Amino acid sequence: MDSEALKKYSALHPKPAGLTLQYGTAGFRSKAQQLDHVMFRMGLLAVLRSKALASTIGVMVTASHNPEEDNGVKLVDPLGEMLHPSWEEYATQLANAEEQELQTVITEICQKAAVNQHKDASVFLGRDTRPSSEKLSQAVIDGICVLGAQYHDYGLVTTPQLHYMVCCQNTQGQYGKATLEGYYEKLSKAFTELIKQVNSDSGESQRHLKIDCANGIGALKLSEMKPYFPKEVLFHLYNDGTKEKLNHLCGADFVKVHQQPPRGLELEANERCCSLDGDADRIVYYYKDTSGHFHLIDGDKIATLISIFLKELLAKVGQTFQLAVVQTAYANGSSTHYLEETLKVPVHCVKTGVKHLHHKAQQFDVGVYFEANGHGTVLFSKAAEAQIRQLAKEEKEEGKRDAAKMLENMIDLINQTVGDAVSDMLVIEAILALKGLSVQQWDAIYTDLPNRLLRVQVADRRVIDTTDAERFVVTPAGLQEKINGLVKKYKLARAFVRPSGTEDVVRIYAEADTQEHADALAHEVSLAVYHLAGGRGAPPRP
């Protein structure tokens, strides 16, 4: 390590005095002007991680669904997964080190993580469309170059595309070609093969879909992908970033939180529409019925649709594959009930955060996971995938072979590295076409229980400690008993509270038989949190 070069470059990316940041599920996120030093240092860390694992590591510059003024960075591990938790600590340590400690901290990380500094290293880099992203990407490159590593800058890509590239590179092309063309070709080929099976008598010959691209990267990449799609599929892009600000009154997060359509997209009755988020790793669908009522179809209903389809195909193939759905406590009670009672698919609840869902889903032959916010994917075990591909090639019985071929195309269409709005959208479009379902019929599979999300500011979020996948409060004493008592007052009711991962806020979720009851329950629970967990400011008002 050239300590003079490190000093010189580090001085070009100084750390603002008194700033402390924490690497969380979403990496680092903050106002863009506070992140220059963090980017430089994550360039350094990516090189160390690459040397430690003798693999290519990804660095993505994005703040996803946050406002345009923010930015962020996350590292991608060799198979396209999120950075290992033990290295999240190193990331936080390195980002917060004072200038003069930098060399020492790097040496410490190398010792703790057994990094061989003489190994070669390689890093893949991508960024979203924020005005600040290009300059911040350059800071990452400075960090990579100081430690003498190779890098490939993919420039503007969606977050899932970078995850995909990293996985392709480290599987020596087994997962696919580590190029954008490779990504477009693999997905569009699988999608086209599936769409070919659609019985042309069963409804629309042309498939129209309106897509809100959150004024982000999704618009650019879907435009690039257009030539790859079959001609009967018509995707209409809105909020494409040419006029408005990223994520402003649009995008998957806005639609999910405000339960209303995005600005810049006119909803006609019963038209199928969807919204991506700013870096295209989340998707939600929605429509307006003939009486003008807005219907949201979130991650829970997406997981249900995919599970119904996969369960049918797996039954046709006649193998005993273990299919399971993984949810968090935020999943609507109706979805859990439908999956377990009607579809007879086991459901597992884990802590909030994609890494927990992903980890659990890896334990099954076929693991479907989605957060209610529309982030999710499907994982196939190596053994299940190999068996499906073999059946698609060698099975004598036509019905079984056709089902296996469909499953094989689903495997290729799904981005198994991470939730991918573009891939998920194509999976949904293919299933709706193959099953001849309208958006209203999909929505009618089950009816969501009315629910309400609230937040209460507290002096210190650490006073709240939870267990049982965040569904039960351990501390402060008396809070869970209070919640239990409030829940008993209402029919079909459920409520839980959990501390935010990033700010001194406690998040509250409540559902009940009517919206009025869900609202009342959420408010009563928020008052209990305010009084028992050190609320700040004025008490919550109904």
| Same domain for 86 and 69 | yes
Do the beta carbons of residue 335 and residue 300 sit within 8 Å? yes
Q: What is the C-alpha to C-alpha distance for residues 420 and 220, in angstroms, rounded to an integer?
A: 15
146 and 21 assigned to the same domain = yes
Tell whether residue 519 is among the known ligand binding residues: no
- Check whether 20 is labelled as a binding-site residue: no
Residue-wise pLDDT tens digits, 111-164: 999 999 889 999 999 999 999 999 999 999 999 999 999 999 999 999 999 999
- Using DSSP's 3-state secondary structure scheme, residue 489 falls into coil
User: pTM of the predicted model, to two decimals?
Assistant: 0.94
Question: Which structural domain, as residue segments, surrounds residue 472?
Answer: 451-533
Do 128 and 271 reside in the same domain of the chain? no
Predicted confidence at residue 204, as pLDDT, reads 58
Q: Contact 307/343 with Cβ under 8 angstroms?
A: yes
Confirm or deny that 498 is annotated as ligand binding: yes
Q: Is 279 annotated as belonging to a binding site?
A: yes
Cα four-point dihedral sign 391, 364, 58, 189: positive
Q: Any idea what the CATH number is for the domain that residue 190 is in? A: 3.40.120
Residue among 50, 64, 122, 132 flagged as catalytic: 64
pLDDT of residue 257: 86
Tokens at 274, concatenated: 């969807």
β 56-61/472-475 pair status: unpaired
Is 99 assigned to a binding site?
no
Q: Is residue 465 part of a domain?
A: yes
* Within a domain: 165: no
Q: Per the omega criterion (within 30 degrees of 0), is the bond before 476 cis?
A: yes
Domain assignment of residue 178, yes or no: no
Q: Are residues 303 and 293 in the same domain?
A: no
Does 129 share its domain with 15? yes
Q: Distance of alpha carbon 146 from its chain centroid, rounded?
A: 32
- What lies within 8 Å, CB to CB, of 403 at 6+ separation is 313, 316, 317
Of 390, 402, 431, give the one whose Cα is nearest residue 316: 402
Does the annotation place 367 within a ligand binding site? no
Question: 64 an active-site residue?
Answer: yes
Tell me the mean pLDDT in the region 214-240.
95
Chain length of the chain: 542
- Residue 201, pLDDT > 60, answer no
540 is a domain residue: no
Same domain for 312 and 292: no
CA 508 to chain centre: 21
Which one-letter DSSP state was computed for residue 516? Answer: H
Instruction: Answer yes or no: do 141 and 38 share one domain.
Output: yes
Mean pLDDT of 362-374: 96
Of 113, 141, 156, the position where a domain reaches its end is: 156
In the chain, how many domains are there? 4
Claim to verify: residue 10 and residue 140 sit in the same structural domain: yes
Mean pLDDT, residues 437-452 taken together: 95
Same domain flag for 305 and 405: yes
Separation of first and last alpha carbons in the chain = 59
495 known ligand binder: no
Q: What is the mean pLDDT of residues 514-541?
A: 95
Do 93 and 150 share a structural domain? yes
Whether residue 292 is found in the same domain as residue 325? no
Q: How far is CA 270 from CA 266, 284, 285, in A?
A: 12, 16, 12
Please spell the DSSP secondary structure of 92-141, one letter per residue: HHHHH--GGGHHHHHHHHHHHTT--TTS--EEEEEE-S-TTHHHHHHHHH
